[in-house]
Amino acid sequence: MYKLILAARYLYKRRIAYFAVLAVALCVFIVVVVMTVMTGLVRDFKQKNHLFAGDCVVGTESLVGFVYYEDFIKMLEQEDIIEGVSPVIKSYALVSPEGTERNVGVEIMGVEPVSFSRATGFGQSLYHHRDDVSKAFEPAYDPNLAGCVIGIDLVLSRDAKGRYSYDAGPTGLSLAISCFPLNSKGALAKAGAGLVNTKTFHYSDNSHSGLARVDGSLIYLPFDEAQMLCGMDGPSKRANAIHIKFKPDVKLQAGCERVASLWQSFSQGKADQGLADLLQKVTVQSWKDYRRAFIAAMEKEQTMMTVMFALVGITTVFIVFVVSYMIISHKSKDIGILKSIGVSNANVMLLFLVFSFFVGLLGSAIGVLAGWRFLVHINEIEGWLYDKFGFQPLWDRTIYAIGDIPNIIDLKVLCVIILSAIAACLAGALLPCGLAAKQRPIETLQVSQL
């Protein structure tokens, strides 16, 4: 009990302890804010990628695609674990806004809007047809025209606060989209005969996935039209991927393993049929693996941030070390007194460790509270800075596809930060506490020491 009382009084009475508490609070504040923003960005980015890809993707990177996809989709649809499944054509195209001679290279995805919306977040990404995705490819001004859904950053610009001006939408925009159709062997299907398939599509909607690369370079086309443009129609129809969504109670890994097993038996069953070699290049991936190239970069940044803040933690350890050392130096008389009334070395050490624990606990509490208050208002503060000084400290919203600064504190991360701060304080105090425990009472109580 005396350890708690004395440690609390040392903390309360010694002004230097306030500096240790403030140092811990400052470190915790910075780590809470940065980790919350960084974790929020990564979480947000993963969620957007998850929505974009669905749960599982059966597909090939080859532009030739693979055959018998319809048979496999029928097989999947009989499975209890499947919520939605949709075939997709993926390729590259040249786009020329009608009336201009300008060409832009883009990615195209041919999708069936209804089934694709069941398998992915496509429907939620639309602006005009969110409530009726079946009409996603019907331009409002003439539903009979072939429509296309354009990545939002290709048609609209963001203002400084990251908002799109939908009123300035490109109504009536038509695009001539040209693809190089490939035959099942990967050769140009129309070699010597004009090479490209071209068709004009009319802007029917935009898609805002929140992924910069998708929104800035992807155009969705009706599945059949894209299949035709890419030369994948004909007697042996081909697709590049099948996007799958599992029922909510299905675990991702279990679902993917089930699909992989189905695909293995399906491809083995088709082994002796024509173009079966195209099935060999098909892989079954969870959305995390499918989007790994993009997610990994963000995760790496997050890891680097964590490492950098571990270095900040080392500074805290050093500050607590110095403060503990100073306090223990000033309290050598107390150590002598305590030992003269029967306090053991271990309890002397524990007393100052309790003091350091209090420093860590109080510093963490102040840091967390300040961090929480700051995060609650972080977007307001950023808005105020921009309105008042034209200063946008984090991201230029006209360039980056990031909306509000993420500010939802992850309780797990918070617990780790608090425990780390306390551990850092204890680590910093360990050596001075050990020295305190070793002090001999007769030396500390000598007149010359007073």
Binding site for other proteins (CB under 8 A): 1-2, 4-6, 9-10, 13, 333-334, 336-345, 347, 440-442, 445, 447, 450
> Which residue, 147 or 336, is less far from other proteins as judged by CB?
336
163 CB contacts (<8 Å, ≥6 apart)?
Answer: 397
Q: Which of 394, 123, 159 is nearest to 245 (CA)?
A: 123
> Considering just the CA atoms, what is the radius of gyration of the chain in Å?
31
Sign of the Cα pseudo-torsion (416, 420, 421, 422, in order): positive
Give me the least distance between CB of 25 and other proteins, in Å please: 23
345 CB contacts (<8 Å, ≥6 apart)?
Answer: 339, 437, 438
- 430 DSSP β-pair partners: none
> Which residue, 43 or 333, is less far from other proteins as judged by CB?
333
> Which residue, 311 or 450, is less far from other proteins as judged by CB?
450
Q: Which of 353, 328, 323 is nearest to 439 (CA)?
A: 328
> Which residue, 306 or 345, is less far from other proteins as judged by CB?
345
Sign of the Cα pseudo-torsion (314, 423, 416, 34, in order): negative
- 246 DSSP β-pair partners: 82
> Which residue, 229 or 437, is less far from other proteins as judged by CB?
437
- Assess contact for 174 and 157: CB atoms under 8 A: no
> Which residue, 150 or 327, is less far from other proteins as judged by CB?
327
Q: How far is the first Cα of the chain from the last one, in angstroms, to the nearest whole number?
A: 27
How many residues comprise the chain? Answer: 450
> Which residue, 257 or 334, is less far from other proteins as judged by CB?
334
Give me the least distance between CB of 351 and other proteins, in Å please: 11
Assigned token pair, 373? 């208050």
Give me the least distance between CB of 9 and other proteins, in Å please: 4
DSSP for 37-89, written as a single string = HHHHHHHHHHHHHHHHH-SEEEE-SSTT-EE-HHHHHHHHHTSTTEEEEEEEE
Give me the least distance between CB of 447 and other proteins, in Å please: 7
CB atoms within 10 A of CB 359: 34
Give me the least distance between CB of 334 and other proteins, in Å please: 6
CB atoms within 10 A of CB 446: 12
Assigned token pair, 312? 């900040």
Give me the least distance between CB of 82 and other proteins, in Å please: 59
> Which residue, 3 or 190, is less far from other proteins as judged by CB?
3
Give me the least distance between CB of 341 and other proteins, in Å please: 5
Give me the least distance between CB of 212 and other proteins, in Å please: 57
Give me the least distance between CB of 441 and other proteins, in Å please: 5
> Which residue, 288 or 333, is less far from other proteins as judged by CB?
333
Token look-up 């003091």 returns: 355
